[in-house]
Structures are given as C-alpha cells and as structure tokens.
Structure 1
Amino acid sequence: MIEIDIPGKGVYRFEHLVLDLNGTISLDGAVIEGVPKRLESLRRLVDIVIITADTQGKAKELGQDLRVEIHILHPGDEQEQKLRLVRQLGRDSTVSMGNGANDVSMLKESILGICIIGPEGASSEAIACCDLVIVDINAALDLLLKSHRLIATLRR
C-alpha cells in the first residue's frame, strides 16, 4: 500500500493501480521504455491491473512479460466495463491512469485519476475529468513511487 497525507484533502491509501494499455503504457503494441522497471517496483506496493480492449492483440503476452494482471474488455461499452472494475477494486483505494474517452468514468471514479498525454495524445474529456494531467507515463508512475511529489500538486 502507498499512503500519503495531502494537506486539505486527507490521507490517501492506494492499494490498486489500474492502467489503460494502448496509448497509456504502450505505443503501437510495445510497452514504452522505462515502464517495466517502474511496474516491477510498484508491484511490491500495490496490485496492478492492466485493462484493455486488446487492439493490438498482444495483451496476454505483455501481461506475462510484465507479471501483472490483464483484464481484457469485451467489445462495446468499454467505458462501463472500466468503471465496474474500479468499483469492484474499491474506488477509495484505486489509482487509474488512462488517456482515452473510454477512460473517463474510471478516471472520475478513482480516488486519483491521472490522464497521460503520451504520443497518441489524450481525449479532451479525459483531461477535463481527472485529478492530474501528465505528459509522460514514467513521470506518472514515479509519482506513486515517490508519492511526496503529489503533495504540491494536490494540496488545497
């Protein structure tokens, strides 16, 4: 678990990390450099779930390589499926990271929603509904590994 006291907001306890795959931690079917190392460190602190429609057809392989749980979505209502996963894990203990319009509900529902504006960009809806916007997935993962960095951005 990761625990951080944000002045004016209270104590956050992160137990789960939900990551969108395509456009967030991978590009064109390959995991972005630096992500595996950070996920290895984070696995000791939180349960990690990668959620994807598996557009590139490589999700199971990537999950095995990264040694994390992969949750493959059924075609249609992807946004609702992502929302249900966050609710199942527990919104008060889940951090979500994504970039797409179908990530909006999970970003809103999570105790901390982080929109990643990577090489594929990010939907304006995802940017508008999250708690933080970051242009690099590795910097976003580092926020959890060095959680004191969240204080300056989130304090009230």
Structure 2
Amino acid sequence: MISIDIPGFRKLELAHLVLDYNGMLALDGKLLPGVAEQLAGVAPTICIHVITADTFGLAEAQLAGLPIKLTITPVESQAEAKLQFVSELGANTVVAIGNGRNDREMLRAAALGIALIQREGGAAETLASADVVCTSVFDALELLRHPKRLVATLRS
C-alpha cells in the first residue's frame, strides 16, 4: 500500500495500480525497454493490474513472468469496462494510468488519475480527467516509488 497525505488535495491510500497496455507500457504491442524493471520495482508496494483490449495480441506474452494481473477485455465499450474494473477494485484505493480516450473514465474515478503523453500521444479528454500528467511511464511509476513527489505537484 502507498499512503500519502497531500495538503489541500486528499489523503491517498493506494492498494491498486491500474494501467492500460498499448501506448503506455508498450508501443505497437511490444513492451518498452525498461518497463519490466520499473513494474518489478513498484510491485512490492502495490498490486498491479493491466487492463487492455490487446490490439496487437501480444500483451500476455510480453507481460509473462511479471508481477501483474492481466485482464483482456472486448474491444467494444472499453471506457465502460475500465471504469467498472476500477469501481470493482474500490476506486478510492486505485491509482490509474492511461493515455487513450477509453481511459478517461477510469482516471476520473480513481483516487489518483495519471495521464500520459508518450509517442502514441494522449487524448485531450483523458488529460482533462487526470490529476497529474506525465510525459513517460517511467516518470509516472517513479511517482509511486517516491510518493512525496506527488505532494509538490498536487498540494494547494
């Protein structure tokens, strides 16, 4: 669990990390170099979930052996499926990271929503739904490894 009290924002008790796959952890279906090590570094403190439509059909093989729980959903109604997934985990215990338009609702519902803008870009609606915006998944995961960095960004 990651616990941090952010003045003027809220106290976060984060037990679950929910991530999209393509555009975040992977590009064109292939895991980005260094992502496996970053996930392994975060795993001791938070339960990691990857939820994806698996556009390229490579997620299971690419994530094999990593300390994550993979959920592959149908292509239809992605935004609703991701929102339901976060809600079932208990949104107040979730940090969600995404970049696509289908991630906007889960970011809005999560206790902490982080939008990414990487090589695949980031949907404007998703950026508007987030609490924090990062330009790399590595930076986003480092926020969880060093949660006091969130204080500087989110306090008011």
TM > 0.5 between the two?
A: yes
Equivalent residue letter for 2:75: P
User: In 1, Cα distance between the equivalents of 2:22 and 2:151?
Assistant: 28
Q: Which residue does 1:48 correspond to in 2?
A: 48
Q: Which residue does 2:23 correspond to in 1?
A: 23
Matches within 5 A, 1:62-81: 62-81=62-81
Aligned residue pairs total 156
RMSD: 0.9
* 8 A contact 1:24–1:137 mirrored in 2: yes
The reply on whether 1:12 has 2:12 as its aligned counterpart is yes
Cα deviation for residue 9 of structure 1 reads 2.4
The reply on whether 1:116 has 2:116 as its aligned counterpart is yes
Q: Which residue does 1:155 correspond to in 2?
A: 155
The reply on whether 1:133 has 2:136 as its aligned counterpart is no
Cα deviation for residue 129 of structure 1 reads 1.0
* 8 A contact 2:29–2:54 mirrored in 1: no
Q: Which residue does 2:103 correspond to in 1?
A: 103
The alignment's TM-score, normalised by the length of structure 1, stands at 0.96
User: In 2, Cα distance between the equivalents of 1:33 and 1:147?
Assistant: 23
Equivalent residue letter for 1:59: A
Cα deviation for residue 103 of structure 1 reads 0.4
* 8 A contact 2:4–2:147 mirrored in 1: yes
Equivalent residue letter for 2:66: L
Q: In structure 2, the residue corresponding to 1:97 is in which secondary structure?
A: strand
Q: In structure 2, the residue corresponding to 1:151 is in which secondary structure?
A: helix
After TM superposition, the runs of 4+ consecutive aligned structure 1 residues lying more than 3 A away are none
* 8 A contact 1:63–1:69 mirrored in 2: no
CA offsets 1:62-92 (integer angstroms, 9 cap, x no match): 2314231111011210100000000010111
User: In 1, Cα distance between the equivalents of 2:144 and 2:19?
Assistant: 13
| Unmatched segments (≥5 aa) in structure 1 | none
Equivalent residue letter for 2:62: L
User: In 2, Cα distance between the equivalents of 1:144 and 1:150?
Assistant: 8
| Unmatched segments (≥5 aa) in structure 2 | none
User: In 2, Cα distance between the equivalents of 1:33 and 1:146?
Assistant: 21
